[in-house]
Chain A
Amino acid sequence: MKRWLGVALGIVTSIGGFLEIGSITTAAQAGAEYRYQLTWTIVLGTACIGLLIEMAGRFAAVSKHTIADAMRERFGIHFFMVPLLLIFFISLLVLAAEIGGVAVAIEFLTGVHFPVWAIPVALLAWGLLWYGTFSMIENGISALGLITIVFVIVGVRLGPDWHALAARLLPSLPDKEPAHYWFIAVSILGASVSPYLFYFYSSGAIEEKWDETHIAPNRMVAAVGMGFGGFLSVAVLVVAALVFAPRGIKVEEYKQLPLLLSIPWGRAGFLLFAGSLFITCIGATAEITLALAYEIAQGFGWNWGEDLEPSDDARFSLTYTVILLASSLLVLTGIDPLKMTTLSMALTSASLPVAILPFLVLMNDRKYLGEHTNGWLGNLAIVVITVLASVVAIVAIPLEIMGGS
């Protein structure tokens, strides 16, 4: 019974924690400019992250090592420094975008320009991490994230053409501005398949003391939780297709985002959007901050753990403190959060092969996984995802230049 409650909770937190400023912005842009055409990229991205998250969870449950920890052990410090530094600096940008997202949500509610809120938001996130526990952050904030179901309700009530939507679940070529189309496609993939999620998820499995009995529940959480999370992204796309596209509204400024819900639902919609943005972005802020601190602490063999008191893991706690401070300074500069988001999503896409390729080695290591190594299907999935990620990595930056906003 307890195991099934754990599965239910895991699914809830996966759904509630799925959306953040990257997935909201890229889905809104896709819907506004290409209606349902880019639905397939959300489906593809969700499938990829679901598979990789399942592997990260299984790896931690069986080996009692996290992904970052095992990467240092298996590849050595020189190979480990490459993904460490690359993913660290790109994720700092993503973190700045999320802090910007929270600040923007507060701007919507108060009218005070977002950079003013950078430090208070960082302090709030810091307080959650310093004084909170892992389950409080993972379960509490992510459960609140279920507010984003409002996108599904609005989407359904707007009466989409279900046949047209279903047809777009499969890849299609754009009928206009191909560079921009593929740029948004790449950004959606970057928003869905975020490397920090592997570090966060495998560390969470160790925080929650998973073992081999968690393998089956983990599979369910990854499939159902991520699946429904992706469904929420599709809902945002559908709402944008029905609200923005007919009015010719392109998502070029962050101040346009609340129109997604305020046009159909007025003031209530506006408040729901601001609330959704606040909760999802503060959740993502906590997750990314922890993920980066985990990566560093585990790579260097320090004590770490959100459930530990800061005095028991001072290096880990002060690492995430510095990370939050550095990212909030980026927001203080006043760089448009929308631009920060699209840039960080493109860079994330470009870094994917480096983040994913180690899975091919680790998920087949019998010393770590015993009999729970990948089957041929799992390995094929990693190879396909890596090839896809490599193609995306090569085109991401040129597309950002050619087709970005």
Chain B
Amino acid sequence: MRVRLVRDLLDNQLIDAADQNAGKVDGIVLELCDGEPARVRYVEVGPVTLARRLNRRFGNWVARLDKRLGEGRGEPIRIPISRISLEEPSLRVDLVAEKTPIMALEQWLRRAIVSRIPWS
């Protein structure tokens, strides 16, 4: 089976095991080994990868902001390609986004702001 990495993977929507939106594929990481074919290793998700695509300096600034969300933040979020399946209408990833750093900003906003608004 042949896959077009840019058309069918990059910038496509990820749906997680709980049927929630888990972001877009913001980056794809290839592993290059001498004498071997290049392998697709990971997809990257999250604001750091996306911002770096637009502009390296902007990406570094976003990474510094992202670090404030908690430990281990400030780096791109990587998902092994083995956990991605090509399905219509969107790509499926076999993890629950809520349990991963993908939802860090969402969870922080929920705690810091949304939960403080009455009857939310």
Contact = CB atoms under 8 A, between A and B. Distances in A.
* Complex: A in contact with B (CB within 8 Å): yes
Interface string B9-50: 011111000001111101000000000000000000100001
B69 interface: no
A9 B26 CA distance: 39
A305 B6 CA distance: 28
B50 A69 contact: no
Nearest to B115: A311
Contacts of B90: 64-65
A366 to B, nearest CB: 12
Given A315-B106, A315-B109, A368-B89, 9 more contacts: A64-B89, A77-B54, A130-B117, A300-B50, A301-B21, A302-B21, A304-B21, A317-B114, A318-B113
A310 interface: yes
Given A65-B89, A73-B11, A76-B10, A314 B114 contact: yes
B53 interface: yes
Given A302-B21, A303-B21, A77 B50 contact: yes
Contacts of B113: 314, 318
Interface string B62-95: 0000000000000000000000000001100000
A78 B52 CA distance: 12
Q: Is the interface of A mostly helix, strand, loop or mixed?
A: helix
Interface in A338-374: 368
B105 A72 contact: no
Interface string A253-274: 0000000000000000000000
B110 interface: yes
Interface size class of A (residues with CB under 8 A): 20 to 34
A80 B11 CA distance: 10
A310 to B, nearest CB: 5
A3 B6 CA distance: 39
B120 interface: yes
A187 interface: no
A311 B120 contact: yes
A-B pairs, top 5 by smallest CB distance, nearest first, are A301-B24, A314-B109, A301-B23, A64-B89, A314-B110
Contacts of A77: 11, 26, 50, 53-54
Interface of B: 6-7, 10-14, 20-24, 26, 45, 50, 53-54, 89-90, 105-107, 109-110, 113-115, 117, 119-120
Interface string A78-97: 10110000000000000000
A77 B10 CA distance: 9
A302 B54 contact: no
Given A303-B106, A311-B114, A315-B106, A72 B89 contact: no
Provide the main secondary structure of the chain B interface.
mixed
A161 interface: no
Interface of A: 63-65, 69, 72-74, 76-78, 80-81, 130-131, 299-304, 309-311, 313-315, 317-318, 368
A317 B113 CA distance: 11
B117 A301 contact: no
A300 B24 contact: yes
A326 B88 CA distance: 37
B120 A309 contact: yes
Contacts of A64: 89-90
Contact of A300 (B23, B53, B89, B115): B23
10 contacts: A72-B24, A77-B53, A77-B54, A130-B120, A301-B45, A303-B106, A311-B115, A314-B107, A317-B114, A318-B113
B24 A310 contact: no
B20 A72 contact: no
Contacts of B21: 301-304
A81 B54 contact: yes
Nearest to A318: B109
Which residue, A81, A299, A315, has most C-beta atoms of chain B within 10 A? A315
Contact of B13 (A73, A78, A81): A73
A313 B14 CA distance: 16
A69 B13 contact: yes
A303 B98 CA distance: 11
Nearest to A75: B11
B114 A310 contact: yes
Contact of B14 (A301, A304, A309, A314): A301
B117 to A, nearest CB: 7
B120 A303 contact: no
B117 A310 contact: yes
A303 B14 contact: no
